[in-house]
Structure 1
Amino acid sequence: MSQSSKNHKKPRTTNQERRRSPRRLTLSNEQRERFDLLQKEIGFMFENKKLLIQAFTHSSYVNEHRIYTFQDNERLEFLGDAVLELAISQFLYKKFKSMSEGDMTKLRASIVCEPSLAKFAQELNFGQLVLLGKGEEITGGRLRPALLADIFESFIGALYLDQGMEAVYEFLTKTIYPKVDEGAFSHMMDFKSQLQELIQRDNLGQIQYVIVQERGPAHNREFVSEVQLNDASLGVGTGRSKKEAEQHAAQQALVKLSQKSPS
């Protein structure tokens, strides 16, 4: 062998250097089983399982295990935020045809805010699957609202990339849209005022609210309100107070009137 060949020999990689170099993410059998169970529970089987796992991989886990930095969920979170906003915007646009741009913006904000997204993630037990570094685990990161909200967004991003927008709509139809239908975010909106404006604008007649039922013990009372248009039932809602029940009834009335109006 020539002297020049000897001089260009590749230096050997030491064990210490191997430990320092980035590695691919690997899961235990138990962790893989958890992700398999999640897919069965939500009704979506990912074609690219790496996307699903990445959605639940926190940066603290990547840093601690010296995994490639692009394998955490931050890029998916960025994408999921935009996808979720579009999906919610379309749903509100189609559902509340008489709602103003300003009111739709406020309602959407209450749905995609951190507390709401964290609650959705908790209901789906997303926190149990998050891959966390030990430090983040010890300080309660698995239950931290900001972390859970980010996980929900990164999951939406992963689902969109793996199966497209229709899958996102289908997933939200099972998880978020029913909550909007039930009036879970009506505290952010004044549906009674919206209904009154619509009735007056179109000269539809007179509306009134009637408490048709009170149920439950005194310390846990529930009221059922019916909003009537020209003495005909237009919507029914329930709530812990009469005002809350009326708001829910008005929300249902708005939906009913929107369905009758031309697209």
Structure 2
Amino acid sequence: MTAALQKMIDYTFKDKAILQQALTHASKSPQHLERHEFLGDAVLGLVVADYLYNKHPQSPEGDLSKMRANLVCKPALLKVAKAWGLADSLIVGDGERNSKGALKSESIAANAVESVIGAVFLDGGWQAAQAVVLRAWSGELRNVKPVNLRDAKSELQELTQAHALGVPQYELLDLGLNAEPRFEARCFIHKARVGVGHGARKKVAEIDAAKHALEGQPLKLIIQEKQKT
């Protein structure tokens, strides 16, 4: 399994023990991944910050911080974990997998992404870790723009108020299972549902719902009807 992971990240470890510890959960051994995770979190943040600083020379600190936060958040880490097939490589205690062998908590896989990055840094240094991160985040780094990271809730409210449509309303549903927080937010304009979003936190779910509202057809149709009156 580690051979497949090394092929996926395009890096071969000189010291396989470093990778072994990076994939070992605390439920399995005292020699687990948390120290690697701590290091990987810092390395990931610095690689992304360095890229954004050079890619967006005109962006102020606030925009750069928002872009970085969006790129290293849990959903972003989970996307990388799935691309790497990381869940299959993790060494965890029996209680951390369900009857089908799947991880009970997505957080384990998300944390392991940072652990693997930390392990690459320990084994191969800055350039190796930087290369792994830039490859894994290539699409997101290429597409992220400051304008896309403006608070979608604020943008949506400004738009609806500009068209005399009032303030958007949000309905929240708790979809969490096995202590894993998960929320669904539904966005309404004049009782018409215009967007649905998801997230590990309520605010994230609402912002996601507002983003989908801004991109979707229902809101555009409501605005068009309003303009006819």
Give the aligned partner of residue 114 of structure 2.
Answer: 153
Indicate the structure whose relative CO is greater, using CA pairs within 8 Å and at least 6 residues apart.
2
Residues 114 and 145, structure 1, Cα contact 8 Å, conserved in 2: no
Residues 96 and 104, structure 2, Cα contact 8 Å, conserved in 1: no
Shift of 1:182: 2.5
Change (3 A) 1:108 1:100: same
Identical columns (%): 35
Count of aligned pairs: 155
Q: TM-score, normalised by structure 1?
A: 0.54
CA distance in 2, matches of 1:79, 1:51: 13
Give the aligned partner of residue 15 of structure 2.
Answer: 48
Residues 23 and 91, structure 2, Cα contact 8 Å, conserved in 1: yes
Query: Of the two, which has the highest radius of gyration?
Result: 1
Give the aligned partner of residue 77 of structure 2.
Answer: 117
Change (3 A) 1:185 1:48: farther
Change (3 A) 1:60 1:184: farther
Give the aligned partner of residue 106 of structure 1.
Answer: 66
The code of the aligned residue for 1:167 comes to: A
Gaps of 5+ in 1: 1-33, 63-68, 191-239, 245-263
The RMSD of aligned alpha carbons is 2.5
Shift of 1:53: 1.1
Shift of 1:44: 0.8
Provide Cα deviations, 1:195-237, integer angstroms capped at 9, x if missing partner.
Answer: xxxxxxxxxxxxxxxxxxxxxxxxxxxxxxxxxxxxxxxxxxx
Gaps of 5+ in 2: 152-211, 217-229
Shift of 1:143: 5.6
Shift of 1:115: 1.6
Q: TM-score, normalised by structure 2?
A: 0.61
CA distance in 1, matches of 2:145, 2:55: 15
Residues 85 and 112, structure 1, Cα contact 8 Å, conserved in 2: yes
